[in-house]
Amino acid sequence: MKRIILFAFILAAALFSCKQVEEKNKFHLTVEIKDFEGKQVLVEKRVNNSWVGIDSTLVENGIAKLTGNAPGNEFFFVSLQDTKGYVLFFGEPLAINMTIDPTNIRDAVITGSPTQNRLKSFNDQYLGFDDVMADFYQAYKNAQSSEDEVGMKRNEQAYDSTDKAKTKFLVDYIMHNNKDIVSHYLLSKNSYQFELDEMESMVNNFDQTVKSVYLDELIAHINILQSVAVGQTFTDFTQQGIDSTKISLSEKVGAKLLLVDFWASWCGPCRAENPNVVAVYNEYKSKGFDVFGVSFDSDKTKWLTAIEADGLTWTHVSDLKGWANSAGKLYGIQSIPQNILLDEKGIIIAKNLRGEDLRNKVAELLVIPKK
């Protein structure tokens, strides 16, 4: 009997301890919202590009109280019933308050989260660069309409200079705040801006005793990019062609040069680059240059229409999953247009060649110099 009582006591103590740990890891969010009585407020998070519900409740007397487990260091999203947009907040295990105007959800005021305060402080300065760049862009357009080439050049240079200053501000923050998970989040969110070696440098600079889901994502992304870096052998994949026939990348490898082009019909920069790729393809296809288009479309009709409209006469594939394209995940693609250039053995010899850089590289490798 004593053994049974002792076991029951140990079990109860363990359950109590687990409950304490669970409660310690919970955030408690109070949302104050006017003119939204009886409507739903929802807390979600993103997991593998999918929305996962955390908690939801109806507004009562202008208040919605929500909670959720936040054992890691990550951000959550608040959305309102029948309302566009969301509010991003850091779900640390504290009492957090949020005041929302349902007619202007993006200007919600959040208090009680030190991490949220640090992110807001960064954004207040970082987003200021966008305002300056918008002014330079408008000035460029004005100069363009009046055929003022000097003004166009001046504002273009000012725009580019401000853009570089914005990136430097981001990098400086990440490097100088290497114990802050806000830095993890910012680098993860903006990783598409950086080359592999730049990301490795910033990640290696982080204090490795500070963990977060965003640092885990960065490390996983770096591992993918290392596997498809210049000098590595291509990673094969299979997707459906325009007639729904399955086609593998390996079926196209063997051309002297194969450009694997990641694009989409809805991507303005992709469509702007297409004429250049068409011109290089038409000029060098007889010398062994080929293109393999991989689309990030989700609408087949729009995909096929863009292929015909832009005169893209090479092989195309897609799994019609948009940004969740499986080939894009294999190659760590976070922005488009992007491409990789393979030699006839399937070795990656260059990446992200556009404009004259693509033409010059293909000419260098395929044109035999005259003696």
Give the tens place of pLDDT for each residue, 75-120: 899 999 999 999 999 888 889 999 999 999 988 999 999 999 999 9
What is the DSSP secondary structure assignment for residue 108, as one 8-state letter?
-
What is the DSSP secondary structure assignment for residue 344, as one 8-state letter?
T
Q: How far apart are CA 152 and CA 157, in angstroms?
A: 9
Three-state SS across 207-251?
Answer: CCCCCCHHHHHHHHHHHHHHHCCCCCECCCCEEEECCCCEEEHHH
Q: Can you give the pLDDT at residue 73?
A: 73
The answer to whether residues 242 and 226 touch, using CB atoms and an 8 Å cutoff, is: no
- Chain centroid to Cα 368, Å, comes to 41
The angle subtended at Cα 184 by Cα 178 and Cα 188, nearest 5°, is 140
- Low-confidence residues of the chain, pLDDT below 70? 1-23, 72, 368-371
Domain edges within the chain: 23-112, 113-176, 178-227, 238-366
- Chain centroid to Cα 111, Å, comes to 27
Q: Can you give the pLDDT at residue 24?
A: 73
Q: Please, which residues bridge with residue 233 across strands? A: 347
Q: How far apart are CA 172 and CA 166, in angstroms?
A: 10
CATH superfamily of 23-112: Transthyretin/hydroxyisourate hydrolase domain (2.60.40.180)
Q: Can you give the pLDDT at residue 135?
A: 94
On whether the pTM is more than 0.85, the answer is no
The answer to whether residues 250 and 281 touch, using CB atoms and an 8 Å cutoff, is: no
CATH of domain 238-366: 3.40.30.10
What's the one-letter identity of residue 255? A
Same fold, 23-112 and 238-366: no
